[in-house]
Amino acid sequence: MGIPAHTRIILINDNQPHSQEYSITRPMVLTLMLLGLVVLAILVFLMLSFAGKHNERQVIAELETELQEARTAVQGVSELSAELQYMQGFQEKLLFMLGVQEAPLANADSLAAWLENDPATSAEALQRSAALSLAPKPDRWPMSGFVTKEFQEGAANRGIKPHEGIDIAGSTDTPIVAAGGGRVVRTGADDYLGNFVEIQHGMGYVTVYGHCSRLAVGRDDRVDAGQIIAYVGQSGQATAPHLHFEVFVQGEAVDPRQILEGDPPTN
């Protein structure tokens, strides 16, 4: 059944004797129907959009919760990692003090090492432990002369290379003495240090003496503070005779000025 050309709408009011009559043409009816469909489509679209936004807000809230939980977990892992590293370092130092495990190299470039080999027996381990506990730390400058280069930690992000010791100028074959009593743990020749000596002192202290012309001690020798161990030279990467002097504490290179008082004697 099609839409008539004219549609009459009669309104009858009980309180009035006359009725009211309206006439609507076919185009007007079609227009009203079209507007109704448009309004209905808009309402459906708005409802679907609202439902979608609501779901998105729920998803965002869940993601924020998961992100916060992940941050908390990462923070916990970082704290555990830091604690494990501290415990590992403490364990290595303790084993080193007891002489039951080879200690890692203090610095690969300087060849500083705390121990060379595992103790063969428990008696040897106790002997090493006693030596470490009783031997004094370094307490004197190894030679006279002027400091030509200070200790520098370095900064890789700024292109600053570390200088893990102090350079003291001196004439060739000037005697170099031990900065403290201890045991010679390494001697030899290195590309950078040239002829070098390393001495292990008490409580994890190690001193390194580089660029020597010749050595006066050998590995495993016991030396006293002030004893001549080598002579000044310019072996290795050196442009002039001088001593490159390093100090390690528990495997970490430190500024010798933190350990020794004042300046090297100049006479």
The count of structural domains within the chain is 2
Q: Could you tell me if residue 98 is inside a domain?
A: no
Q: pLDDT for 59-111, tens place per residue?
A: 777 878 887 887 777 777 677 667 666 666 665 565 555 444 444 433 333 33
Answer with the residue of higher pLDDT: 118 or 86.
86
CA angle 146, 149, 150 (to 5 degrees): 105
What's the CATH code of the domain at 220? 2.70.70.10
* 183 lies in some domain: yes
Cα of first residue to Cα of last residue in the chain, in angstroms, is: 126
Average pLDDT over residues 22-45: 77
The domain boundary residue, chosen from 44, 63, 82: 63
Q: Write out the residue range of the structural domain in which residue 160 sits.
A: 112-258
> Within a domain: residue 90?
no
Pairing of strands 6-11, 166-169: unpaired
CB 226 within 8 A of CB 153: no
* pTM greater than the 0.75 cutoff: no
Amino acid at 143: M
Contacts of 26 (CB under 8 A, 6+ apart): 3, 4, 5, 6, 7
3-state secondary structure 214-243: EECCCCCCEECCCCEEEEEECCCCCCCCEE
